[in-house]
Amino acid sequence: MVDLTRRALFGAIGLGIVGTVVSWPRLTGSDIPGRGADTLTVALFGTAQDAVARQSLIDGFQRKHPGIEVRIVAIQGQDWSEYFAKILTMIAAGTPPDVVTVATEGSQLFASRLAHPLDDFVRRDAAEMQEYFDDVNPTLIEAFMYQGSLFQMPDNFNAANVFYSTQAMERAGLERPADNWTLEEFLTTARSMKKSAPEQFLPYFWNNRLWGGVVPWLYVNNTSFLREEKAGGGDWFWDRFYPDQPSRSGGYVWKQADALNEHAVESFSVLERMVSEGLAANPAQGGGNELVSLFSTGSVGMTPAGGFWVRGLEEAGVANDAYDVTYFPRMSGQRHQFGAGGYAIMETSPRKDEAWEWLKYCVSVEGMKIAHPRPDSSLPRRSLNAELYGAGVGPAHWEVFYETLDKFPDTGPMPAPPQQAAVESALLKNVVSTITNGPSGVRRGLETMQRDLEIALGGR
């Protein structure tokens, strides 16, 4: 049976699971096949403790749907790529989950091979779903479109903003930067911070990763390391839910490496100059766990982070007036980067109706409040962020988290094609060498990066 399941699954993967789905009638309390006998399995990227913490979400869901049993399965991993690999292992073993949490990093991988499009569910329940979409910036929705179909509804997101130490600013005699500050003003701020600080101080600390690494510096210069295009389609959605908004697309497309365009060379040259001048850290690879302690002890002036970091700083005992947040500085533009997350329904699931009810509940006001009682991420629902970050919980300018989407409408998701894991590896392995071999080493490093990215994308 496992062999048959594996052959069927990977045959489907080879063909690509996209397109039209059949339409289901609206669920009632007794018409889900197997209701009360089956369990809806939801895979979560996290620990057993994270799964336990979702019990209140399950309880809230089951108050509305008492006949649907839900089981959260926590899957641990060092990063999203490892989590996705474990999901694939579960599928191959014949024990696939019904629903999976998927971040931007894997949304196109799942949409192209593993996930079930939400189109017919959304059409059927359009009147009910309008309230959710009215509360969500369309930029976040577009990030989960793929080839004209919608595969996820975001339940959290984080834009890459600049967190700064108010102490470092005051010590340097500086005021809060203007929202539209320039690169030169950023560099002047960094130099003033360094000049006025103790010896062991870094004006700008960053990590070598896809979110908050080099990408923000590329985006504010109207470029990236992959060529960004847009797919057609999606009018069925945009015309219904965002009729007054500028036209959107059927989703992002990244098919070609583009590390050698002049704006990319310029952005990497800026980072090379910052590192060589001692204004920025030589980036470490991986997450930013060590950054909380550095920031909390006053050893760092500025760093890229998002709304999720408010909770991290709070747990480290950092007062909310010890830091603030602003936008990345302008280069040729001021586009920002974000990552988002949400649930996807697996194509292999026999419980798609129940799964849809779970997705709807998780993006409802009640569900989102239960899932995010503390400031661990910005919320796609505009109306809920004041409760999460206001009243002295977040920094003084916490509105920046959501207003990044409003003030810079060209803001978009990090580049994440279906080959995201290979693409990310090709990027990260070349960043340090590109910015640490002097000005003349930047283009040489990007030539190697371009080659590796082309291989990662399959030679396209």
**How far, in Å, CA of 200 to CA of 191, rounded?**
14
Tokens (6 digits) for 374:
């503390």
Say if residue 29's pLDDT is above 50: no
> In Å, what is the CA distance from 127 to each residue of 27, 131, 171, 239?
15, 8, 54, 14
Say if residue 33's pLDDT is above 60: no
143 closest CA partner among 253, 259, 221: 253
251 closest CA partner among 230, 237, 236, 235: 230
What end-to-end distance do the CA atoms of the chain give, in Å?
38
Which pLDDT belongs to residue 298?
86
Of 11-25, 119-133, 402-416, give the lowest mean pLDDT range. 11-25
Residues facing residue 150 across a β-bridge: 145
165 closest CA partner among 398, 389, 393, 321: 321
Q: What percent of the chain has pLDDT over 70?
A: 90
What is the H or E stretch that residue 218 is in?
helix 215-219
Output the CA torsion sign for 330, 331, 333, 339. Answer: negative
Residue 459: other Cβ atoms inside 10 A: 6
- Pair 224, 258: CB distance under 8 Å: yes
Tracing tokens 């096949």 back to the chain, one arrives at: 33
| pLDDT band at 78; cut points 50, 70, 90 | confident
Encode pLDDT of 99-148 as tens digits: 999 999 999 999 999 999 999 999 999 999 999 999 999 999 999 999 99
CA 8, 79, 362, 87: dihedral to nearest 10 degrees? 20
Of 11-20, 116-125, 225-234, 372-381, give the lowest mean pLDDT range. 11-20
The better pLDDT of the pair 78, 398 is held by: 398
| pLDDT band at 297; cut points 50, 70, 90 | confident
Chain-wide mean pLDDT for the chain? 90
Tokens (6 digits) for 373:
């009682």
